[in-house]
Amino acid sequence: MSAAAMSNSPSEDGLFTAVEYLQMASLGSRSMIVSIDNGNGTVGEIVMRDGEPWCAKDRLGHGEAAFLRLVAADSFSGGCHATVRGLRGPLAPRNLDGSLEHLLLEAARTWDEAQPRPAERPDSKARLRLDSFESLLEAGIDALLSKSFNDAYAAFSAAEAVRAGDRVVQGNLRRLRDLGYGDDGER
Amino acid sequence: MRRVRRLNDALWRFTAGAPDVHATALVSEDGFLLGRALSATLDERHAVGLTHAMLDLAERASAELGRGRHEVLMPSPDGYAAALPAGSGTVLLSLAQGSADPGALLPRMRSAATDLRQILESQR
């Protein structure tokens, strides 16, 4: 759903993450309220006005600290989901400064610094995994475009092994199997 | 930045900026999904199959009628489905709500298709 449409609808549950909603608001210069729920109720809200971060509050406070906690809860903790609704009625005072990109980078940095420091840092592993996944996904797409379907199957299978559950990867693996490529029908 | 990320960024940018568009996908002519900015409730397989059927029909019709360009805008009671070529054997599919302005949808899609074409044709 577009940011424009979201700002006019009462709520859309669980379609996207909070960060995706915030990025869509930013890209489309839209106004909206993104609520984060941890399964036991709303834990906080972030308001975007005309595509800019406007204010945030959660159970522990407000402003940038609340924004960072809410994004971290939605992005890095299980069990949270985001909903969005249009911005209506009186607007709370602004308590967020800077661009969305800056705040999201700050959220990632804050979360990173809060993590324990074992010999091998989990976030660097995650980044490596993401890079590896994207390179395999790109190899699969390139192979599809050049109609090298066995190569595409191999690349997508490897991507699925790195990060299971991606819908593009799974959909293409399914279609390749339907066409007779892959483990059961190597051509 | 990797091309796959640039493709997805371009799809998200289009979807976020196009009023009432709620799902966008880049599909190959063979019916594979190359990128998506789809709502979680939409079945990609269904969307890819639909796109393929729409463009196939449009291509045959435009060939029969001697028209070079094949774009499809299909209104329905629930909204619009639109598809047009995006270069390198790919098709851009968009699903929009009934409140969408069909006159604005295709030009926006053409602009997005130009971006996607440039990304697809950048160095592999």
Strands A61-62 and A81-85: unpaired
* Positive or negative: CA dihedral B52, B56, B59, B65: negative
Domain boundaries, given as residue ranges, for chain B: 2-121
CA distance B15 to chain A (A): 6
Does residue B94 surpass a pLDDT of 80? yes
| Interchain proximity B33–A168, CB inside 8 Å | yes
Does residue B110 surpass a pLDDT of 50? yes
pLDDT band of residue B29 (cuts 50, 70, 90) is confident
Q: A145, A156, A174, A179: best mutation site toward chain B, by most B Cβ within 10 Å?
A: A145
Q: Are B16 and A23 in contact (CB under 8 A)?
A: yes
CA distance A61 to chain B (A): 30
Q: Quote the Cα angle for A20-B10-A161, to 5°.
A: 70
How many angstroms separate the CA atoms of A149 and A141, rounded?
Answer: 10
Q: What is the average pLDDT value for chain A, to the nearest integer?
A: 77
Across the range A85-94, mean pLDDT stands at 83
Q: A21, A50, A175, A181: best mutation site toward chain B, by most B Cβ within 10 Å?
A: A175
What beta strand segments (E) does chain B contain? Answer: 21-28, 33-38, 72-76, 79-87, 90-97
The superfamily CATH assigns to domain B2-121 is Dynein light chain 2a, cytoplasmic (3.30.450.30)
Does residue A77 surpass a pLDDT of 70? no
- Structure-token match 């959220």, residue found: A107
pLDDT of residue B8: 84
Question: Could you say which DSSP state residue B20 is in?
Answer: T
**pTM for the structure as a whole:** 0.58
